[in-house]
Amino acid sequence: MSEFRPPVADLTFALEHVVGYDQIAQLPGFEHADHDTVVEILSEAGGFMAEVVAPTNRAGDLEGSRLNADGTVTTPTGFKEAYAAFVEAGWGSVPLPEEFGGGGFPRTIGLALQELEMEANMAFALAPLLTQGAIEALLGYGTDEQKQQWLPKMVSGEWAGTMNLTEPHAGSDVGALTTKAVKRADGTYGITGQKIFITFGDHDLSEQIVHLVLARTPDAPAGTKGISIFIVPKFLVNDDGSLGERNGVHTVGVEHKMGIHGSPTCVLSYEDATGYLVGDENIGMRIMFVMMNSARLSVGTQGLAVAERAYQQSLDYAKERVQGRAIGATESSPIIDFPDVRRMLMTQKAYIAALRRMMLLNAVNVDISTHHPDAATRARADEIVGLLTPICKSFGTDLGNELTSLALQIHGGMGFIEETGVAQHYRDVRIAAIYEGTNGIQAADLIGRKLPVRDGASALEFIASMRELDGELAAAGEEFASIRTQLTAQLDTLEQTTMWMLRTGPTDPNSALSGSSPYLRIWGLVVGGWLMAKSALGARGLDADGIAEAQLPLARFYAEQLLPQAAGLVGAVTAGSHDLFALDADTLADRAPSRARV
């Protein structure tokens, strides 16, 4: 197992030279979050994650979280101690409001911390991730009293939070949920129903768990318009703030999953559990989207984070493993000297760098959208967040799968042996393309909700803004020529397919949906290429340290060898729905066997 090296240097480079973090540090309320302070925080956090959290990753996989006979859930060896140290250090509270004990840092920095945490142990990092989602919902929609009651201990991490959406027949279709919420005389609600796939739905890390539960009041409208959201704590809280009796929520199962074994994925049964309404009745979906948009960016970052960890391991292996002779070598060579291994390493590194910049750019826009003094600037940043979020989520997690596969491949036969550890990353990250809205749902969101914003002007303006790099690339000379050529070509691809989507979507939504996933992939490839080009430009004139000198070769590799794939996807985007629906279910199943003919 190789040691985890927190990629703090690349994070700080990207913040400073690519995504314009300096604008954030100048926003009102973020004055204390200057670059030097941020570098210090990330360095310290990186050390903490490497020393305290990363060592729990393997035990988490081997032991898993388990449901005991008495209905309690025990997390793997080391999780409890690591979580206590995490709370003690206050890492979860860094991006949360000072009013409730947080550090008042931007979301951008919170996301960078999440990346480091997820690199150390993806399963473990889900506990604070879900807590943060619940906090964001309460910050947005809770009453002052609710905020005072729940937030301080959630912000500190002493109390954990969860998000309870899914039911057996209500997964992607949240509106189909049937959990009931019946109002009582005292203003609280009695919650009854079963929830599945509840991440860290129960555990032994914190004394209290604050569930945010989607449910339906008896007279609620059908579908998503009739969903309300409730705080349902594991333990009722006494007036003095101490924990009282057990609430009517119980863990009836912990799933046996392919990965993230350390994270208990629970089946929770609610039996007239006491719940407190958040906001008004029937606005639950609006509140959920607050949590979900934030969580989608975090999940995209999971793809990147697990890929980074696996990449590091594959790099270490490639340097150490001696096997055969490279061209021109007179002795046995480490496999890093073989071109195809280099291709796998560079592919990982270039995509990881692109993804990191994409996630941070999204987060920077989150911060602008919430903290910029100018309303128009906030509104535009909010549009950009809306546009980038499905791309970050899907492209990040698809690549999470593909890149961990490359890391495994570099290990040869050892990659398939569990003791090596790289297989865990491949298994762990696989869920990220599914949860928080499957990647197909992200693609539908991109074309169905985000492209239509201002009749397409929002997306087209973003494309135009990417084209603005062209002058700088032209002036940057011969070394940037192929980057410029490819970026222009694939921006054209993106624009053409965007125009096709804008034309097709309103009249033939099935055709637009048919091309939505490859279309999202084109966006990911192009935004990544643009950010890598920015990165190479940003590195000019800096001392040629490791990060700075890597940017031009990475950007060129990306532009010449990865970015052109976008053009290869145009056919899949624009083919329409006809052939996708040409075969009926029986034919898809070969139900009518060919008769033998001689």
436 is catalytic: yes
Tell whether residue 566 is a contact of its own copies (CB under 8 A). Answer: yes
Candidate residues 150, 426, 462, 530; the one interacting with its own copies per rule CB under 8 A: 426
Residue 408 to residue 422: CA distance in whole angstroms: 6
Rounded CA gap, 434 and 191, in Å? Answer: 27
Residues 439-478 that bind its own copies (CB under 8 A): 439-440, 443-444
String of contacts with its own copies for each residue 379-418, x by CB under 8 A = ----------------------x---x--xx--xx-xxxx
Give CA–CA dist 76/64, Å, rounded.
6
Point out which span in 228-236, 240-248, 357-365, 559-567 binds its own copies (CB under 8 A): 559-567
Amino acid at 435: Y
Identify which of residues 157 and 515 has a Cβ nearer to its own copies in the complex: 515
The only residue of 26, 148, 172, 465 in contact with its own copies, by rule CB under 8 A: 172
Catalytic hit among 115, 167, 308, 436: 436
In the complex, what is the shortest distance from the CB of residue 170 to its own copies, in angstroms, rounded to a whole number? 8
Minimum CB distance to its own copies, residue 492 (Å): 14
CB of 431 to its own copies, least distance (A): 5
CA nearest neighbour of 525 among 464, 465, 567, 554: 567
Of residues 4, 8, 100, 279, which one binds its own copies by CB under 8 A? 8
Number of Cα atoms under 13 Å in the Cβ half of residue 240 = 2
As given in the structure block, the two tokens for residue 154 are 């959630």
Number of residues that bind its own copies (CB under 8 A): 124
**Considering the complex, what minimum distance in angstroms separates the CB of residue 215 from its own copies?**
19
Instruction: Look at strands 208-215 and 159-164 and give their pairing.
Output: parallel
Strands 180-183 and 189-199: antiparallel
Residues numbered 30-69 forming contacts with its own copies, rule: CB under 8 A: 34-36, 39
Residue 187 vs 328, nearer CB to its own copies = 328
Q: Distance between CA 358 and CA 398 in Å, rounded?
A: 14
| 247 near its own copies, judged by CB under 8 A | no
Name the residue nearer to its own copies (CB basis): 166 or 298: 166
- The partner residues of 199 in beta bridges, in order of sequence, read 265
Any idea what the Cα angle at residue 459 is, between residues 458 and 461, rounded to 5°? 70
- Our CB check for its own copies shows the closer of 17 and 147 to be 17
Residues 319 to 378: which contact its own copies by CB under 8 A?
Answer: 319, 322-324, 327, 332, 336, 338-346, 349
Q: What torsion do the CA atoms of 41, 42, 43, 46 make, to the nearest 10 degrees?
A: 120
Dist. CA 468–CA 100, nearest whole Å:
41
Is residue 549 a contact point for its own copies (CB under 8 A)?
Answer: yes
Among the listed ranges 79-87, 127-135, 270-278, 313-321, the one in contact with its own copies (CB under 8 A) is: 313-321
State the Cα–Cα distance between residues 399 and 359, nearest whole angstrom: 13
Of 46 and 386, nearer to its own copies (C-beta) is: 46
CA distance 336 to 551: 20
Closest among 214, 194, 190 to 284, alpha carbons compared: 214
CA count, 13 A, side-chain hemisphere, 4: 33
To its own copies, the closest distance from the beta carbon of 111 in angstroms equals: 19
Residue from 66, 180, 250, 257 that binds its own copies (CB under 8 A)? 257
CB of 462 to its own copies, least distance (A): 23
Please select the residue that binds its own copies; options are 210, 423, 469, 533, rule is CB under 8 A.
423
Rounded Cα gap, residues 469 and 418, in angstroms = 45
Task: List active site positions.
Answer: 436
